[in-house]
Amino acid sequence: MHTTISTSFLKKLSAAALVTGLVLCSEANAQTQETVPTPPKMRPEMTEFWEPEIKVITPGNGTTTAPSDAIILFGGKDLAEWKGKDGEAKWKVQNGTFTVAKGTGDISTKREFGDYQLHIEWQIPTDIQGKSQARGNSGIFMQSRYELQVLDSYNNRTYSNGQAGSIYKQHPPLVNAMRKPGDWNVYDVIYTAPRFKEDGSVFTPARITVLHNGVLVQNNSEIKGPTEYIGLPSYKAHSKAPITLQDHGDPSKPISYRNIWLREL
Ligand code: MG
């Protein structure tokens, strides 16, 4: 014998089950609320931390003196922190500055660095000549690979991603904050080195923030790979590496540097 269950009976059964479920749930909730303790009232000190205590340093004066925890890469006397491609750095030191000795090649720091804050000042000579890229061209290579362009960009048009303050052929500066020849330009750089996976591929690319004469020109820009004059950049894994200054070889008068210091991060 077959039993026929009507649709209305099924509806009544579902409704009853729903009501029972709700009752059970609300009872369970009531029980849970009873067992969970009320969180303590937040007080101001609950979001303070005191350890580690922050190291005290003496800041520099913004121009001639460096912060007390900086590595002085050039303090005005000699190029003891620098090397040339075949040994000694041959650029010319005089009057607290040093000048590119054209044809002697790039110079690099003897030390190798990863992440850092860098301060470096540079000057285009008053009697500079030439135009576009052939006018006071030099450069500061982060980890000997990634160029922050140095160029006379005071009334000297060139391609935008090749002017002073650019990450050469990658990122133009946000503005042209160049001082005139004879005046000292200042770069303050915050550089984060790239990270690589075990297989050599990029985990995180390098990043760079640059202030040119106190004005933001690179805002946490992502570096796409080593600087290339021709072609597109492509990362190759590397570890810590020196800072390199470029002997560009353009025929214009050589430029000078002074007050170079770095804080490792
Ligand atoms: Mg250059």
**How high is the pLDDT of residue 20?**
46
Token digits of residue 258: 């002074």
**How high is the pLDDT of residue 29?**
52
The 10s digit of each residue's pLDDT in 181-202 is 999 999 999 999 999 999 999 9
Query: Ligand 1 center to residue 34 CA distance, Å?
Result: 71
* Total-model pTM: 0.84
Query: Ligand 1 center to residue 204 CA distance, Å?
Result: 25
Query: Ligand 1 center to residue 65 CA distance, Å?
Result: 27
Query: Ligand 1 center to residue 97 CA distance, Å?
Result: 19
- What residues pair up with 216 in beta bridges, in sequence order? 211
SS (H, E, C) the chain: CCCCCCHHHHHHHHHHHHHHHHHHHHHHHHHHHHHCCCCCCCCHHHHCCCCCCCCCCCCCCCCCCCCCCCEEEECCCCCCCEEECCEECCCEEECCEEECCCCCCCEEECCCECCEEEEEEEECCCCCCCCCCCCCCEEEEECCCEEEEECCCCCCCCCHHHCCCCECCCECCCCCCCCCCCCEEEEEEEEECCEECCCCCEEECCEEEEEECCEEEEEEEECCCCCCCCCCCCCCCCCCECCEECCCCCCCCCCEEEEEEEEEC
Query: Ligand 1 center to residue 157 CA distance, Å?
Result: 15
Lookup result for tokens 């690979």? 145
**How high is the pLDDT of residue 10?**
45
Profile the chain (265 residues) by mean pLDDT over runs of 10 residues.
Answer: 45 48 47 75 95 94 87 97 95 98 97 98 98 98 98 98 98 98 98 98 98 98 98 98 96 97 98
Q: Give yes or no for a contact between 88 and 218, defined as CB atoms under 8 angstroms apart.
A: no
Query: Ligand 1 center to residue 138 CA distance, Å?
Result: 4
Query: Ligand 1 center to residue 3 CA distance, Å?
Result: 92
* Bond from prior residue into 52 cis (ω within 30 degrees of 0): yes
- What residues pair up with 87 in beta bridges, in sequence order? 84
The ranges assigned to domains in the chain are: 71-264
At 241, the amino acid letter reads A
User: Does domain 71-264 bear CATH number 2.60.120.560?
Assistant: yes
